[in-house]
Structure 1
Amino acid sequence: MSRPPLRVVVADDERMVRTALRVIIDAEPDMEVVGEAASGAEALPLVRSLAPDVVLMDVRMPEIDGIRATEQILATMAEPPKIVVVTTFENDSYVYDALRAGASGFLLKRAGPDELIGAVRLVARGDSLLFPAAVRSLAASHAAAARTAAPAWAARLTDREADVLRLMAGGLSNHEISERLGVGPQTVKTHVAGVLAKTGSRDRTQAVIAAYEGGFMKKS
């Protein structure tokens, strides 16, 4: 029995961008665009009513920007969708704020169709969409008060959980971590769950940001 297609909402104030994203996504047999919004204000009720699997969210929009929209969606929905921030510049401070707000990752507007489709599938299955160098740079720029010592939660991580967090911060998926460490996928999932619990993170993206902001990566 085939799975239902992934349901995607596109939020961008540029009609041409929305149209381009729709064409690319609707061409795939396993996904479809179920709604479009031209602002964060339009995106909020649309996402709540349609309950999509993934939202492609522009960060710079009128009325309510992508950061506030992301915060409100995650705060008000019992089962919120995965949110991918779509941006022109990877070093945009809006991107980092959106990741801290709970977005699962970000995608550049110049990304090709294969990257876009891969991103939707990636976050839909629970992985984060991060670019390690960009996140490291953003964390350094926007976390000036980051501690020089590892945070308290770091001491509660097992050695293997610490290894997994470092590899997560390097942008590796569960499958890649499994191959790197020579353990089964379910074992990796268990370690990831332990990392999320001990860092107090909603998802992988939040755990990676906590690792950089808390100084964990400096000590790694």
Structure 2
Amino acid sequence: MIDTLGALGWLFLVVAFGAIVPVVPTGAAVSSAAAFALHEYPYAIGLVVAAGAAGAYTGDLVMYAMCRYGGEQLARRLHWLNDEERLNAVRARLQRRQVTVLLVSRLIPGGRVPVLLAAAFAGVSWRTFVIANLPACVLWSLVYSTIGLLGASIFPEPWQGVLAAIVVILVVNQSITWISRWWGRRAARASTSSTS
């Protein structure tokens, strides 16, 4: 049990750190932990979901606070703010549907950081952010845990399930990135041709 709690503590720290430093593959960490738990500690799967959600929530709160109080200068210095056009589009969506955008942003690969930045810069209240982000983090952890469980249920060895979960996450994330870029280029061509 102590080993399990230590592993869950590490999962919490990795996910919280990854929420602040977006290069850490937090989804893969949760999926891997779930895949491993299914083979070794099936009773701990709910705890994996909870640790992943708690880490994501804590990291998001820290990042939101940094953006609220550090502003755009800090976001640029930390290389969180790279795409002004995308940030402006997210700001417009936030003005129409704050809670919905905050909920969905965690599930879209690469969508969380622009939404956090736009929400912080637009002055979305702490209360709204805290309430909307909690179910988003739980749902995110549940989705990635499920991916890990599916991988673990297909393969007999824990390492095979972990590897399958990581590969699935990388393929899904890369596919969504390519589709987003394709839509962005298509929209840019459409707006260019309509202004001509």
Higher helix share: 2
Higher relative contact order, chain-length normalized (CA < 8 Å, sep 6+): 2
TM-score by length of 2: 0.30
Query: Who wins on radius of gyration, i.e. which is larger?
Result: 2
